[in-house]
Chain A
């Protein structure tokens, strides 16, 4: 069974304090790994897709990396507006239809 585990559940950072969020996954052949950002009361917003080990994607202060077992979302010099829940999801080769989500990491960045 495909599974995604995210850690930590919650993370509190000071503005400018860089850190990383972890997404460990088991999947029967990875088609793609996705990162989403979710603000309170809103739907998830797409950030990145990673397809193969060694791949990296960047967007502003965020950088996503992928290995064969896990993905990291690195946040460099975060700002308060980066506060959100970050969700990781995987899609298996066997199923276009399904994204399997982790439970997310709640990030709070204090000024």
Chain B
């Protein structure tokens, strides 16, 4: 089954404590991205990756890091989380060929206190 898997699904942490949200896809997609979803603001892109070792900033990259060492994995790193990073996070992957369909993970609800 084609899927994007995020972990954890729920996370409560304290300000300043480094955390990583993992994302893995099994469709051999080149393109992967991270979004955050906030009420009234919709989905906003944080970072994206066109392929292994190729990453770039989206619209709201401040306070986040990513890496793409393997094609299937695209972890999101918050080195010093702050309360304004409390949000619902989604990882997505997409083929760079003719099929435009983006597959999303189930989401990670992060609360920073």
Contacts and interface: CB of A to CB of B under 8 A. Distances in A.
B67 interface: no
A27 B43 CA distance: 17
A103 interface: yes
12 contacts: A34-B100, A42-B106, A42-B107, A44-B43, A44-B102, A44-B104, A45-B104, A49-B101, A91-B100, A97-B31, A97-B56, A101-B35
Interface of B: 4, 31, 33, 35, 40-45, 48, 50, 56, 58-59, 90, 92, 96, 100-107
Interface string A27-43: 00000101010000111
Contact of B42 (A41, A45, A46, A87): A87
A78 interface: no
Contacts of B31: 96-97
A45 B105 CA distance: 10
Nearest 6 A-B pairs (CB), nearest first?
A43-B104, A101-B43, A103-B42, A46-B101, A101-B42, A97-B48
Given A43-B107, A44-B43, A99 B102 contact: yes
B43 A87 contact: yes
A99 B106 contact: no
Contacts of B58: 97-98
Given A49-B101, A91-B100, A97-B50, A43 B45 contact: no
